C-alpha cells in the first residue's frame, strides 16, 4: 500500500503546464493521496484535477481571504487536510541596482505574505485537527547566491524563517513545517534560460552529482517530508545535487561556458 493512501492534500501553485506544482500533484496522487489542485487560473488546474482524480479551486496566495476560502473548499471537497504544499514562486532577474519598488512589493507579497497566509491558515487548522505536514518550496539561492536575484533570494529566505517559526510553535500540536530548496531546476519557468549557450554547462559544472535537478527530484523530497512517519520539522532540505558544496556559478564562469559552447 502506498504510504499516502487515505491522505488529503492541497497543492497551490499548480497552474503552469508541467510546472513543479503539477509534478508534485501527480506524485501525491500516484502515492495514494487525494489532491486538491490550486492556482490562479481555473482551466489548467481543472484539467490536472480531472487527470489525477482530484478536485480544483482557484486561489491567490497573497490574499488571506482567498487562502481562507481555499481551506474551506479543501474541507468541503476532501473532508479535511493532512498535507499542504506551497509551490508558488517567481524569479525576477533584475540587476540589484536596478530593482524597482514594484518588484520588491510583488516578490514580498508572494514569498513572505503568501507563505505566512498559507502556513497560518492550514497550520492552525491542522493543529486543531490532529496534525499534518506543510511543505514550502524555497530555493538553494538562499545559501548559494546567484547574480541578479537579490529580492528573490531575500524573500525566499524570509519564507524559510517563517517555516522555522511556525514549526517551533505548531510542533506541539503535531504539525510539521518544512522547506525544500531546489537548485537550478529544469522546469518550464527555467526553459528560456537553458537555451542560453553555455548556461547549462556552467551550472552542471557546479553540481557534484553532475547535473541540474528535475521537478521529480523535488517531488521525491516533498513526498518524504509529507509521510506520517517523517520525524522532521523546521528544516530546509536542499535538493540540489550538492550545490552548496561549491555554490552557484558567477558571471565570468557563464562567459567562459558560453564561449566554449559557441566554439564547439
Q: Which residues are catalytic?
A: 152
Nearest to 8 by CA among 85, 115, 89: 85
- Contacts of residue 49, defined as CB under 8 A and 6 or more positions apart, other chains included, come to 35, 36, 37, 55, 56
∠ Cα 39 151 103 (to 5°): 65
**Three cell numbers at 55?**
478536485
Q: For 129-139, b where at least 16 C-beta lie within 10 A, e where not — what string?
A: eeebbbbbbbb
Q: Strands of 175-182's sheet, edge to edge?
A: 55-58, 34-39, 8-12, 83-86, 132-137, 175-182, 236-239
∠ Cα 25 45 170 (to 5°): 50
* In contact, 82 and 122? CB cutoff 8 Å: no
197 C-beta neighbours (distance < 10 Å), count: 15
Nearest to 121 by CA among 74, 156, 174: 74
CA–CA dist 142, 146 (Å, integer):
9
Cell 506524485 found at: 27
Cell 488529503 found at: 8
Amino acid at each position: 500500500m502506498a504510504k499516502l493512501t487515505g491522505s488529503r492534500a492541497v497543492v497551490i501553485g499548480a497552474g503552469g503546464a508541467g510546472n513543479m506544482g503539477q509534478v508534485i500533484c501527480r506524485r501525491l496522487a500516484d502515492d495514494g493521496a487525494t489532491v486538491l489542485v490550486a492556482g490562479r487560473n481555473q482551466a489548467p488546474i481543472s484539467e490536472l484535477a480531472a487527470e489525477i482524480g482530484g478536485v480544483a479551486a482557484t486561489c491567490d496566495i497573497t490574499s488571506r481571504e482567498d487562502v481562507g476560502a481555499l481551506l474551506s473548499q479543501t474541507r468541503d471537497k476532501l473532508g479535511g487536510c493532512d498535507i499542504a504544499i506551497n509551490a508558488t514562486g517567481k524569479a525576477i532577474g533584475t540587476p540589484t541596482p536596478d530593482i524597482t519598488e514594484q518588484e520588491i512589493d510583488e516578490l514580498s507579497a508572494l514569498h513572505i505574505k503568501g507563505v505566512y497566509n498559507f502556513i497560518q491558515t492550514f497550520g492552525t487548522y491542522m493543529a486543531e485537527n490532529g496534525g499534518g505536514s506543510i511543505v514550502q518550496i524555497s530555493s538553494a539561492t538562499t545559501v548559494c547566491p546567484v547574480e541578479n536575484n537579490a529580492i528573490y533570494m531575500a524573500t525566499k529566505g524570509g519564507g524559510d524563517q517563517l517555516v522555522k517559526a511556525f514549526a517551533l510553535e505548531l510542533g506541539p500540536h503535531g504539525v510539521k513545517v518544512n522547506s525544500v530548496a531546489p537548485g537550478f531546476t529544469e522546469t518550464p519557468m527555467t526553459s528560456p534560460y537553458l537555451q542560453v549557450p553555455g548556461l547549462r554547462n556552467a551550472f552542471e559544472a557546479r553540481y557534484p552529482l553532475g547535473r541540474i535537478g528535475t521537478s521529480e527530484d523535488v517531488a521525491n523530497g516533498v513526498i518524504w517530508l509529507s509521510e506520517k512517519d517523517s520525524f522532521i520539522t523546521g528544516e530546509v532540505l536542499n535538493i540540489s545535487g550538492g550545490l552548496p558544496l561549491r555554490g552557484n556559478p558567477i558571471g565570468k564562469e557563464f562567459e567562459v561556458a558560453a564561449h566554449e559552447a559557441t566554439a564547439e
